[in-house]
Structure 1
């Protein structure tokens, strides 16, 4: 994708966080969890593409030793904002909403770089945990007899849960295909010294 195309994609991902659409996205649990939050994550994942090729390569090379930490950052940030209390607080408190937005952008950035620097078993481990987390929270939101978030109705909670399960299934399928392809590649070996 060209740099202007990436800028446009990044802007479109950030659009739901801007004031006119933010209120609309936060008015519904489904729109918040299936629209705003994934859009912010995608914006973070697109950010490195805005760098020049040399700077992008330097970023990836500089963060190569931190593949494990990048996986931890991405999974913690995503997991935190699936907790019902965090969902409520991020809607009711402006600073918490900004913290949610910033941490989701950071999670997307960490995931982007982590996918490039971490070995495939590590990617499968953290990706699998995120998929499991999405499935677990999704099923919890679907099956709960009462509202888990004070700010949202039960029907909206169930719709968000169905969406989380669908997202988790899609990401899980993508993850399996990606890691299977990576596992088939020959291991990188340093050149022999003469």
Structure 2
């Protein structure tokens, strides 16, 4: 019970810090902070909130989330939408769109927490096999285009975010593959990975 309350408390503090005008203005002041700091903090808050859900709520949600597919689909769609530069511009110009963006990222973090373990390695691989190339492609587009894709942010900031998105996609893929190999080695024995 204490862990549940602590998780919910940390999530509430994170949400308050990220959503309050001074922090929001600072985080949304650069494309890098907006996409690479604010989004993960909001997703982390959602993750913690989902961990704090009572068991009966989780059971009800699980009925709609067989093998984690529905939750991971929501995460993939949310990520795809949030990589559209025009949406970032609209979120900066309209508080309602910014609130919807924040809500979507929090819900995506919650969906990821509720879905990841249930998905198993096969569904996780399918999810990452779609999301990570999309992330890398958007990152490459941010780097290659000579035009500002977001009117609110400078071209240099766009280029840095593009580089970071490509790097994050590669690192996330490598981390998942390493975890998969560890799992296979553990399940089949040490002969699969010498020295593991």
TM-score over 0.5 (shorter chain): yes
CA RMSD of aligned residues (A): 2.5
- Normalised by the length of structure 1, the TM-score is 0.83
Unmatched 5+ residue regions in structure 1? Answer: 187-194
Pairing 1:28–2:27 present: no
Contact 1:71 1:110 in 2 (8 A): yes
Task: Determine the structure 2 residue equivalent to 1:178.
Answer: 179
Task: Determine the structure 2 residue equivalent to 1:128.
Answer: 129
Pairing 1:44–2:46 present: yes
For 2:161 and 2:48, locate their aligned partners in 1 and report how far apart those are by CA, in whole Å.
Answer: 25
Contact 1:13 1:40 in 2 (8 A): yes
Deviations 1:41-89 (A, max 9, x none): 111112122134x347625643442622212111000110111111111
For 1:76 and 1:37, locate their aligned partners in 2 and report how far apart those are by CA, in whole Å.
Answer: 14
Deviation larger for 89-98 or 162-171: 162-171
Return the offset for 1:151: 0.8
Task: Determine the structure 2 residue equivalent to 1:138.
Answer: 139
Return the offset for 1:7: 3.5
- Normalised by the length of structure 2, the TM-score is 0.82
Secondary structure at 1:97 match in 2: helix
Task: Determine the structure 1 residue equivalent to 2:193.
Answer: none
User: How many residues in Structure 1 have an aligned counterpart in Structure 2?
Assistant: 185
Unmatched 5+ residue regions in structure 2? Answer: 189-196
Task: Determine the structure 1 residue equivalent to 2:166.
Answer: 165
Task: Determine the structure 1 residue equivalent to 2:81.
Answer: 80
Deviations 1:120-159 (A, max 9, x none): 2111111222211211111111222111111111011112
For 2:110 and 2:185, locate their aligned partners in 1 and report how far apart those are by CA, in whole Å.
Answer: 24
- After superposition, the Cα gap between the structure-2 partners of 1:77 and 1:40, relative to the gap in structure 1 and judged at 3 Å, is same
Return the offset for 1:3: 3.5
Contact 1:6 1:49 in 2 (8 A): yes
